[in-house]
Amino acid sequence: MNSQNEKRILIFDTTLRDGNQAVGVNFSLDDKIKIALKLDDLGVDYIEGGWPNETNPIDVAFFQSILKYRLRARISTFGRTRKPMVRAEDDLDLKYLAQPDIPTVTIFGKAWRLHVKDVLNTTLEENLNMVYDSVKYLKSLGKEVIFDAEHFFDGYRDSPDYAMEVLSMAEEAGASFLVLADTRGASDPLEVYEVTKKVVDRFKTPVGIHAHNDTGMAVANSVAAVKAGAVMVHGTVNGIGERCGNADLVQVIGVLATRLNCKMNVNLRMLSTVSQYLRDITSMEENPWQPFVGKYAFSHKGGVHGDAVVKNREAYEFTDPAIFGNTSAIVVSSQSGSASLAAKAQEMGFEIDKKDPRVLEALKKVKDLESKGYVFENADGNLFLILYESIYGPPQLFELEHWTSIVTWLGDRQVVECLVRVRVGGVSMTASAEGNGPVNAFDNALKKALSPIYPKIAYVSLIGFRVREIDAPSGTAASVRILAEFESNGSRWTTIGVSTNILKAAEEALVAGYKYFLLKFSST
Contact residues toward Zn ion (CB under 5 A) are: 18
Nearer to Zn ion, 15 or 405 (CB): 15
Nearer to Zn ion, 252 or 496 (CB): 252
Asked if 180 and 209 count as a contact pair (C-beta separation under 8 A), the reply is yes
Q: What is the rounded distance in angstroms from the CA atom of residue 199 to the CA atom of residue 181?
A: 13
Nearer to Zn ion, 21 or 430 (CB): 21
Print burial letters for 397-423: b (CB count within 10 Å at least 16), e (below 16). Answer: bbebeebebeeeeeeeeeebbbbbbbe
**Shortest separation between residue 212's beta carbon and Zn ion, angstroms:** 6
Nearer to Zn ion, 18 or 40 (CB): 18
Of 104, 112, 180, 101, the residue nearest 135 (C-alpha): 104
Give the CB-nearest residue to Zn ion.
18
**Shortest separation between residue 245's beta carbon and Zn ion, angstroms:** 9
Q: What is the rounded distance in angstroms from the CA atom of residue 284 to the CA atom of residue 25?
A: 9
Asked if 181 and 214 count as a contact pair (C-beta separation under 8 A), the reply is no
Nearer to Zn ion, 80 or 344 (CB): 80
Nearer to Zn ion, 91 or 182 (CB): 182
**Shortest separation between residue 18's beta carbon and Zn ion, angstroms:** 4
Q: What is the DSSP string of 312-335?
A: -GGGT-SS-GGGGT---EEPPSTT
**Shortest separation between residue 249's beta carbon and Zn ion, angstroms:** 13
Asked if 398 and 384 count as a contact pair (C-beta separation under 8 A), the reply is no
Distances (CA, A) of 473 to 373, 480, 495: 7, 12, 20
**Shortest separation between residue 242's beta carbon and Zn ion, angstroms:** 7
Give, rounded to a whole angstrom, the gap between the first and last alpha carbons of the chain.
52
Nearer to Zn ion, 188 or 214 (CB): 214
**Shortest separation between residue 37's beta carbon and Zn ion, angstroms:** 23
**Shortest separation between residue 372's beta carbon and Zn ion, angstroms:** 49
Q: What 8-state DSSP symbol labels residue 418?
A: E
